[in-house]
Structure 1
Amino acid sequence: MERLQKIMAQAGVASRRKCEALIQAGKVQVNGETVTELGFKADPKDDITVGGKPIKHERKLYLMLNKPKGVITSASDPQGRKIVADYLKGIKERVYPVGRLDYDTEGLLLLTNDGEFANLLTHPSHHVPRTYLATVRGVPHGSKLEKLAAGIKLEDGMTAPAEVEYHDVSPDDKHATIAITIHEGRNRQVRRMFEAIGHPVSRLKRVRIGDLGLANLQRGKFRHLTPQEIKALQSSGSKPHNVHKKVRPDKP
Structure 2
Amino acid sequence: MSDAATMVRRNVRHTVRNPGALIMTIGLPVVLLLVFVGVFGDALLAGMGATSHGDYIDYVVPGILLMTVGYGASTTALAVNRDLTGGIIARFRTMAISRASVLTGHVVGSVARTLVSSVLVLLVAVLLGFRPGGDPLRLLAAIGLVALLALALTWLAVAVGLAAGTAEGTAPFTLVVQLLPFLSSAFVSPAAMSGPVRWFAENEPFTPIIDTLRALLLGLPTEHGGAVAVGWCVGLALAGYAWARALYRRR
TM-score (norm 2): 0.28
Task: Give the number of the structure whose alpha-carbon radius of gyration is greater.
Answer: 1
More helix by share: 2
